[in-house]
Amino acid sequence: MRDELGPNEAPQLEAEFGRGFGRRNLFSMVRFAEDFPEFEIVQSLIAQLGWTHFLHIIDLLFYHRGLRRLVVIDLKLGKFMPADLGQMEFYLRWLKMHETRLGEEEPIGLILCAGKSDERVEVFELESRGIRIAEYLTELPPRELLQRKLHTAVQLARQRLGEDVEPVEKPTSAKGSSRRKKA
């Protein structure tokens, strides 16, 4: 169905029905129709939630009691792109303006993607913006690599808490690495 959308549909629909029928929205509508093909289910869901909940159906919003703030999690199917950051900033600003209550901290965001370049992410200086970017695994790594990464994560957490720990070694890829024996 998506392949049937040509370059002329969006301008024609916007001319006839007004804003909201741009090419990107049309693809979202087609995806929605493919995901929810039964009219009765769609009618029931829209009556309870409204259309805007379905525009970004894979985005998640939580409230963290301990942090006293909203937490947005944006799931991406592909690698991190700079546009993902702009979308997250928009979400956070909107939530700050319309949903944050008295006594709550500003919302924070997590972009989960299938891949990211640490150098690219570093350029954005996200620490002060309340946004983090993380990768999810599409397949389980070798056990040794997983153990090293877990050990490194624990050491880093202890360092942040001010505990005495041995220096953290940067994890290396499983390819070509050899396991060191402790003396």
Q: Domain limits of the chain?
A: 1-55, 58-139, 143-183
Q: Give this prediction's pTM.
A: 0.52
DSSP notation for 53-91: HHHTTT-EEEEETTTTEEEEEEE-SSB--HHHHHHHHHH
DSSP E strand stretches across the chain:
60-64, 69-75, 108-113, 131-135
pLDDT tens-digit map of 123-176: 888 878 889 888 887 788 889 988 998 899 899 888 888 876 665 555 454 444
In single-letter form, the type of residue at position 112 comes to L
Helix (H) or strand (E) holding 150: helix 143-160
Sheet holding 60-64, edge to edge: 60-64, 69-75, 108-113, 131-135
Distance set, CA 25 to CA 37, 38, 78 (Å): 18, 20, 19
Q: What is the pLDDT of residues 55-80, one digit of tens each?
A: 455 578 888 999 999 999 998 888 88
Query: Quick one: 145 exposed, middle or buried, by C-beta within 10 A (0-12, 13-18, 19+)?
Result: middle
Length of the chain, in residues: 183
Q: Please give the structure tokens belonging to residue 9.
A: 């549909």
Confidence of residue 121 (pLDDT cuts 50, 70, 90): confident
Beta strands 69-75; 60-64: pairing state: antiparallel
pLDDT average, residue stretch 31-54: 57
Which has the closest alpha carbon to 169: 133, 182, 124, 161?
182
The whole-angstrom separation of Cα 164 and Cα 119 is 29
State the pLDDT at residue 116. Answer: 87
